[in-house]
């Protein structure tokens, strides 16, 4: 009883370790099963964490698609407003300059871009 309580002589610690190792050797199958089940639990927890991370990334991707749509619409609206102002100018220089700018930097139509939605 003194071996498990830690009281008594100086040799109890080594006996306790030897008892633990002897017990482990005696119940080897149980310890192996415990280690394997612990490994399965750790892998399950890791998989669950990755599942939630994938879901968060999918939500972020959807939010970014909405933001891209909003910015594309806003850019088209700005281009349309600038084009109306340029058309109202009599000389046509502003309209010519805007056509060159819009040709070099066209507004991206987000609705026609390929969707990567895998749900």
Number of domains within the chain:
1
Residue 22 lies in a domain: yes
DSSP code of residue 109: -
Residue 72 lies in a domain: yes
Residue 78 lies in a domain: yes
Residue 98 lies in a domain: yes
Residue 90 lies in a domain: yes
Which structural domain range is residue 7 located in?
2-112
Residue 119 lies in a domain: no
Residue 118 lies in a domain: no
Predicted pLDDT at 44: 96
Nearest to 12 by CA among 22, 4, 21: 4
Residue 117 lies in a domain: no
Q: What is the pLDDT tens value at each position of the chain, 119 positions in all?
A: 444 445 445 555 555 566 777 877 888 888 889 899 999 999 999 999 999 999 999 999 999 999 999 999 999 998 889 888 888 888 888 888 888 888 887 766 655 555 555 54
Helices 28-88 and 12-26 cross at an angle (nearest 10°) of: 80
């Amino acid at each position: 009883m003194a071996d498990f309580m830690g009281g008594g002589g100086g040799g109890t610690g080594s006996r306790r370790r030897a008892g633990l190792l002897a017990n482990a050797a005696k119940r080897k199958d149980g310890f192996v099963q415990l280690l394997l089940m612990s490994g399965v639990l750790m892998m399950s927890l890791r998989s669950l964490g990755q599942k939630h991370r994938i879901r968060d990334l999918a939500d972020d991707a959807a939010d970014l698609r909405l933001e891209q749509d909003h910015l594309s619409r806003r850019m088209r609206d700005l281009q349309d407003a600038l084009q109306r102002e340029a058309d109202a100018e009599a000389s046509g220089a502003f309209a010519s300059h805007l056509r060159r700018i819009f040709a070099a930097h066209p507004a991206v139509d987000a609705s026609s871009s390929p969707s990567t939605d895998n749900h």
